[in-house]
Amino acid sequence: MTVALFVIAALELAALIALGVVTLVMRRKLTSARRALRDRPTRSPEIRPRRRPRGVAPLAVKTVVDTVQTADSLIRKGLGGSIRHSIDDLAGWARVERPDLARITADGSVVLLFSDIEDSTRHNQTLGDRDWITILERHNKLVEHSVSAHGGYVVKNQGDGFMIAFADPADALQCSLDIQRALCGGSERWNGIRVRIGAHAGTSVRRGHDLFGLDVVMAARIADLARGGEILVSAALRDSVADADGFSFTAGREVRLKGITDAQTVHALEMPAS
């Protein structure tokens, strides 16, 4: 009996010792953890930007956001550090992203128009970033207003470059004339900038709801050929406009366009007499 009691007492003592050791170890770990937390530099809570609600025209909102971001990049880096070539960049973007243009055309026919400011790099260097951004924003508002007034759709805006789509050829041409007429009407307001415009009408390749293909390349290359103040169009666009619409074109000239195998005919849209 005495031996049994001694064994039980010994076991209880061992248990108490073990519990004491565990408690001591845990206290040391807790103290170390508290010290580490105390010494750790405090950080401001991360504030996540609120998601912009999608309104009735989310694509229009995205276009404005892209324009603002591009302008900000121009202010910080200057034109040379931000944009290589507006029309090339836009055409490259379209080939990769394959924008959905099915919403503006039921049969796959679409007029694609590219525009940019001639010698924009030189203008940027001459005016300086701040004045250049003022002209750039004024130019972009002019284009966006004209496109909206004629039922067009701004597919993409990057810097001074625009990719625009129209369902009706006459609307595309009238929009182009309005832009050039506005720029010619106030040289001081526009600091002498001149816009070149190229357009093409065709039935783009349809895959699912995407419209893309050689028509994008064609329109971009034609715009690249245009001079400042000129509206250059493909023969397909010229032929799609009835004579009754009142548009006048120069005689066609044959050109070779990069990325297009066959020679193409282009026409310049003439400004109507004021």
pLDDT tens for the chain, residues 1 to 274: 565 556 566 666 676 776 666 676 677 766 766 666 566 555 544 444 444 444 433 443 343 334 434 434 443 334 443 334 677 777 777 666 666 666 666 666 889 999 999 999 898 998 899 999 999 999 999 999 999 999 999 999 998 999 999 999 999 999 999 999 999 877 677 888 999 999 999 865 455 444 456 888 889 999 999 999 999 999 999 999 876 678 999 999 999 888 788 899 999 999 887 6
Residue entry with tokens 């998601």: 51
**Cα dihedral 94, 161, 248, 241 sign:** positive
What span, in angstroms and rounded, lies between the C-alpha atoms of 266 and 234?
Answer: 5
Start-to-end Cα distance in the chain: 126
Does the residue 12 lie in any domain? no
The model's pTM is 0.65
DSSP-based three-state secondary structure for 56: coil
Does the residue 141 lie in any domain? yes
Does the residue 188 lie in any domain? yes
**CATH classification of the domain holding 211:** 3.30.70.1230
Does the residue 154 lie in any domain? yes
What span, in angstroms and rounded, lies between the C-alpha atoms of 86 and 90?
Answer: 6
Both tokens assigned to 141: 């508002």
Instruction: Please give the residue range of the domain that contains residue 85.
Output: 59-268
Does the residue 129 lie in any domain? yes
Does the residue 7 lie in any domain? no
Does the residue 193 lie in any domain? yes
Please tell me the total count of domains within the chain: 1
Does the residue 66 lie in any domain? yes
